[in-house]
Amino acid sequence: MREILYLEVPTPDIETVRSWLQTDFEPGNGEKVLTSEGFRLKIPSAKTPAGAGLSENLPVELSVFVWSVQRTTYLKVFRWAEQPFPSERQILQRLTQEIRSRFPHHYPEPPAIDLSQESIFAALASAYPLTVKYFQKMPNGEYDLTRAYWWEKRWREGVRNPQRPRQVVFSSRGDWGAGEQGSRGAGGDGRIISSSSSSSSSSPTYDLIYIGGALGAIHAALMAKLGYKVLLVERMPFGRMNREWNISRDEIQSLVNLGLVTPAELETIIAREYKDGFNKFFDANNPSKLRSPVLHTPTVLNLGLDSDKWLQMCGQKLQAAGGEIWDETEFMRADIDISQVLLQVKHLPSQVEKQVSGRLLIDAMGTASPIAWQLNGGRAFDSVCPTVGAVIESGFEPGVWDSQYGDVLYSHGDISRGRQLIWELFPAADDELTIYLFHYHQVNAENPGSLLEMYEDFFTILPEYRRCDMDKLVWKKPTFGYIPGHFSVGSSDRTVAFDRLIAIGDAASLQSPLVFTGFGSLVRNLERLTTLLDTALKHDLLSFRHLNQIRAYQSNVSVTWLFSKGMMVPTGKFLPPQRINSMLNTFFGLLADEPQEVADNFIKDRCDWLTFNRLALKAARRNPALLLWIWELAGPRDLMRWLGSYFNFGRHALVSALLSPWFGRFLNRVGFWLEPRNPGLWLWLLAINYAIATGKPRSRSQVAKTNPEAVIPKSEARILN
């Protein structure tokens, strides 16, 4: 028996597919014999010769059947005998063409709703029944589902109107101070439109105004401790977020090194430290050479943070240092002049609008940031991870999951309705588990990516991933969002700043194309951003040309975006269902064969030029078809863009090799006299130094190890060196 066809049918309605196969599809040759899941196709008069061998004794038949997993229907055709079925190729071509025509890709949109007439639950119950059912069981479920709905609506509007981003930043001098490159603005015309409103000539009230209270709170607290007067504006009640954060020991140590928290305080925000993380992709339909063992990453994302407690701690530190928090306050617009930025905000409970001024505005609003869309003329992001999930307090049967372990990246099926779904599972405090479902997605106006469709998938297929009774699970809160990515070719091809304005975190969209987390990128680059921003503020270097140097760009990160591109199914395109899992197993199989520090460095954005090339060549040797697959997914235009990233990576590696041995010591010697004499030059040199120092790989001895025996209890927790 041989498999001769494997198709993804992008619909959860397996009954309709089965009925179509059995009643409507005409193969054009042979006799259809209906079965419970499809049909057999045989030649009525075929007879097996007497004395034939076992393989020759099999009937000349095709077996066509369907099954469902991941809310998706799949079809396979097997041939019983070794010899081809008469007109076999034509039958398979006809089946493929007709099933593609009958069941094309479909990208549902959320219904239009009016919450003044009905609740969010009533409005969405018919389209997303399981999503409504389980959000009703969550504390604040109505509020969170409403937020998910409007987030998706705003995301779709932004993707579909990239040439007309909402105008929120205005300058008294048009594109004043933007330099030769310019800053892109409303209408995609590369300008910040002049403001018609008058600006105050009085001194700014604050040094720094942050918009966005998640990642913004971390950096705001740190800058307040440096002595700056800081205001944090947050649309939601402060301390609430729909994401959980995971990170590793060596990365989070930067919070201690910078003086934001003490070692003892750090331990109080760690909800769980587990001793190993697994990376495994479904490979049942892959050829044997493209199957891989589990990749163990014990020092990747193995700390689960209590995000609510962490944000509250940041808020307390911010206020203790003299900063202020305006929560439940919405950003309306910013007017920039030569001496300050003037913000207009609205307090949502009272609907009272007010103005506030500062020296510098920091955009930490994440993926929905209208500032990010405006600065980049609508090209805010190239890719995105629509991500949904939940924190589950309890309800899994004993033995379903051991909380000493995490799933870093895991798939339990092939391409599902045009997406390769990937799971993450991270243990948290007590019996809590944080579970995410996401996919890598190319931003597309027809198919922007849906949170609500993903949630309906999540609540349907969670028992397929981890055995459970959904009605016995105790839900703590949902976790969801759009996590963006930007395919950078060079350090300056994305605008992250304007005069007196800079973006950080997800709004800057400079994080890893593999892990897609603004939190990890921010923490890894926290010293870099803080030192450069402190220098700029001390010397009032707040024009575009200075602020645009303050970014978390890494050339080794930009070159890996082709890897994430290979995990995206282009909108409207059908791929062999196992294609992306085959690519993932190829590369993660290589990492599994390498020493632990190689995988650790790669996932934490510390891969160097030699290692990258060595792994790429090994992948091509193991799976020569990989290059063709990438060509099919990326296309010639993106491959040319990637070559630009690759050559930039090589140039950066050469410059780093030449400068690293002496450049840092040189700056230490000349800084005391150069900084006061030429602060602009000093900022530029500091930015170069961080660019060549950030992202260097760690040796085996430097990679932090978790306790191999057990998870460290909270009472015995300690910093591991």
Does residue 696 have a pLDDT over 50?
yes
Does residue 589 have a pLDDT over 90?
yes
Contact 142, 165 (CB under 8 A): no
Ordered DSSP codes for 83-148: SPPTTHHHHHHHHHHHHHHHS------PPP--TTTS-HHHHHTTT-HHHHHHHTTSTTHHHHHHHH
Ordered DSSP codes for 154-210: HHHHHHH-TTS----EEETTTTTT-TTT----GGGSS-PPBP-S----SPPSEEEEE
- What is the pLDDT, as a whole number, of residue 146? 96
Helix pair angle (596-603, 609-622), 10° resolution: 110
- What is the pLDDT, as a whole number, of residue 630? 87
- What is the pLDDT, as a whole number, of residue 167? 85
49 falls in which pLDDT band (50, 70, 90)?
Answer: low
Contact 384, 517 (CB under 8 A): no
Cα separation of 296 and 650, whole Å? 29
Tokens 């928290």 belong to 261
Span 183-201, average pLDDT:
44
Percent of the chain at pLDDT > 90 equals: 67
Does residue 584 have a pLDDT over 60?
yes
Sign of the CA dihedral running 117, 120, 122, 125: positive
Span 582-596, average pLDDT:
94
Residues 6+ apart with CB under 8 A from 52: none
Span 386-393, average pLDDT:
96
177 falls in which pLDDT band (50, 70, 90)?
Answer: very low
- What is the pLDDT, as a whole number, of residue 203? 79
Cα separation of 21 and 63, whole Å? 12
Does residue 47 have a pLDDT over 80?
no
- What is the pLDDT, as a whole number, of residue 554? 75
Ordered DSSP codes for 328-351: SEEEEEEEE-SS-EEEEEEETTTT
Does residue 179 have a pLDDT over 70?
no
Q: From the CB of residue 16, how many other CB atoms can be counted at a distance below 10 Å?
A: 14
Cα separation of 7 and 96, whole Å? 8
219 falls in which pLDDT band (50, 70, 90)?
Answer: very high
- What is the pLDDT, as a whole number, of residue 39? 97
Q: How far apart are the first and last CA of the chain?
A: 56
- What is the pLDDT, as a whole number, of residue 510? 54
Cα separation of 712 and 596, whole Å? 21
Span 714-721, average pLDDT:
28
Does residue 702 have a pLDDT over 80?
no
Span 560-587, average pLDDT:
90
Span 708-716, average pLDDT:
33
Mean pLDDT taken over the chain: 87
Does residue 258 have a pLDDT over 90?
yes
Contact 354, 331 (CB under 8 A): no
- What is the pLDDT, as a whole number, of residue 191? 44
Q: How many angstroms separate the Cα of 689 from the Cα of each of 566, 597, 602, 660?
A: 32, 24, 22, 8
614-646: pLDDT as tens digits: 999 999 999 999 988 988 888 888 888 888 889
Ordered DSSP codes for 44-64: TT--PPTT--TGGGS-SEEEE
694 falls in which pLDDT band (50, 70, 90)?
Answer: confident
173 falls in which pLDDT band (50, 70, 90)?
Answer: low
- What is the pLDDT, as a whole number, of residue 24? 96
Span 677-686, average pLDDT:
97
Does residue 701 have a pLDDT over 50?
yes
Cα separation of 234 and 239, whole Å? 9
Span 125-149, average pLDDT:
97
Sign of the CA dihedral running 669, 672, 677, 680: positive
674 falls in which pLDDT band (50, 70, 90)?
Answer: very high
- What is the pLDDT, as a whole number, of residue 239? 83
Lowest mean pLDDT among 123-132, 367-376, 580-589, 603-612: 367-376
Contact 630, 655 (CB under 8 A): no
- What is the pLDDT, as a whole number, of residue 718? 27
- What is the pLDDT, as a whole number, of residue 71? 97
The pTM of the full predicted model, rounded to 2 decimals, is 0.88
- What is the pLDDT, as a whole number, of residue 154? 87
Lowest mean pLDDT among 75-79, 218-222, 479-483, 559-563: 559-563
Q: Reduced to 3 states, what is the DSSP secondary structure of residue 647?
A: helix
- What is the pLDDT, as a whole number, of residue 520? 80
Residue 22 CA to chain centroid, in angstroms?
41
Span 409-432, average pLDDT:
95
Ordered DSSP codes for 510-569: -S-TTT--HHHHHHHTHHHHHHHHHHHHHTT--SHHHHTT-----HHHHTTHHHHHTT-P
Residue/partner pairs of 155-158 with CB below 8 Å, 24 or more apart: 155/367, 155/368, 155/448, 155/449, 155/482, 156/109, 156/448, 158/368, 158/373, 158/378, 158/380
Side-chain-side CA neighbours of residue 709 (13 Å): 2
Q: How many angstroms separate the Cα of 394 from the Cα of each of 132, 400, 471?
A: 20, 12, 11
Buried b (16+ CB within 10 A) or exposed e, 386-419: bbbbbbbbebbeeeebebbbbbbbbbbbbbbbbb
Span 313-321, average pLDDT:
97
Residues 6+ apart with CB under 8 A from 36: none
Span 396-421, average pLDDT:
95
Q: Reduced to 3 states, what is the DSSP secondary structure of residue 671?
A: helix
257 falls in which pLDDT band (50, 70, 90)?
Answer: very high
Burial class (CB in 10 A: 0-12, 13-18, 19+), 135: buried
Residue 266 CA to chain centroid, in angstroms?
25
449-502: pLDDT as tens digits: 999 999 999 999 999 999 999 999 999 999 999 887 766 666 666 678 999 999
